[in-house]
Amino acid sequence: MPEIILIVDDTPANLGVLADTLGSAGYQLMVAEDGEEALAQSAQTQPDLVLLDVMMPGIDGFETCRRLRARPANKDLPVIFMTALTETADKVRAFEAGGVDYLAKPIEHEEALARVRTHLTLRRLRRELEDQLALKERFMRIASHDLRNPLCLVLVAGDLLRRQPPIAAAGNLARYVETITDSALQMRRIVDTFLGLRPPTAADHGPASPVDLNLLAGAVARQHAQAAEQKEITLGTDLAEKLPLAKCDASLVYQAFTNLTSNALKFTPRGGRVTIRTLALRGRTRVELHDTGPGVPAAERGQLFREHARISVRPTAGEESNGLGLAIVKHLVESQGGTVGADFPATSGSIFWFEVPVR
């Protein structure tokens, strides 16, 4: 889509020549003959750059620029002044009003085109940088949260191993080591993603591959077995017999899977039950986490899957909860073209689920 330039000048000849030059270069143009008209037009259609005359009837260019830049939507709008004023004080006024550059009249139109291109390029680069920084900041929050889950599983396995008598510990050594290894590998995947090797957006990582969600479910159950054991929760699986392969990124879906499982264990009371279920639907595969916890009050359910959502229900053994886990699940699953949700049976408990496309 062509970038939009607003030209503001009360001299028709100047408007015509600039319009010809910039229109021929492929830009979409808006024109205004005074400041008030410029403000009205820019309120209706957001320009990407403004060429602004200084001396005009009504409000001058300096005041027009100040009013334009006062609008939140125009915080990075480049304004280039067009002026016959040559005094240093006038140039300083132009920059103080919010201008980024100026063109001396009579305008050399090749110079005008070059400056327009330069400032539009700078604006695009600045926006791209801001988007990248926002993405990095968001993923830093994701990584810092999700590293806690596998680290906690490592600590739980180590603690259980330490507490058991030597004979019992020797018998359980293999499965404790497996939990520690699986958790460490998961932590490495999260770190690799954070370092940019696997950016967490659908557009950036490679094509989705066929994934057996039943295998992932079994791996997640094994990885969380000791955490469930420590809380005396029965952690089981109920897997579909004929589950089509999902079309997704296995590591990102596994990360979402572990978030839901960790969340279910946090909010299920001691002696309760958590079940990982897989289902085959038309064109989709579905994963459900059933728990026997207290559920979520109806008035608070709209906050689920939002960052830093705070609900009145708290983890049942004092575990930490910062309101990021479900928002991360939503981000990871939606990056794979999937959907997330939660259901609350009339009896008790919760069912948190996600669906991803099939191969």
- For residue 216, give the H/E element and its range: helix 213-223
Domain ranges of the chain: 4-130, 207-357
Residue with tokens 């259980």: 160
Q: Return d(Cα 359, Cα 283) in angstroms, integer.
A: 8
**Residue 261 structure tokens:** 């499982």
Sequence-separated (6 or more) residues with CB below 8 Å from residue 180: 153, 154, 157, 158
pLDDT in tens, the chain (359 residues): 789 999 998 888 778 888 888 988 899 999 988 889 999 999 899 999 999 988 888 888 889 999 998 898 888 899 999 887 777 787 788 888 888 888 888 888 888 899 999 999 998 888 877 777 776 676 666 666 667 677 777 777 777 667 667 756 566 677 777 777 777 776 766 666 555 434 444 444 445 689 999 999 998 998 888 889 889 999 999 999 999 999 998 888 988 898 899 889 989 999 999 999 999 999 999 999 999 999 999 999 998 988 777 788 888 877 777 666 788 889 889 988 999 999 999 888 999 999 999 98
| Straight-line distance from the first to the last Cα atom of the chain, in angstroms, rounded to the nearest whole number | 34
Q: CATH: 3.30.1360.120, 3.40.50.720, 2.60.40.1180, 3.40.50.2300. Which one for 4-130?
A: 3.40.50.2300
3-state SS, residue 81: strand
Q: CATH: 3.65.10.10, 3.50.50.60, 3.30.565.10, 3.40.1390.10. Which one for 207-357?
A: 3.30.565.10
- Concatenating the DSSP letter of every residue in 175-192 gives HHHHHHHHHHHHHHHHHH
3-state SS, residue 24: helix
pTM value is 0.54
Nearest to 51 by CA among 85, 4, 110: 4
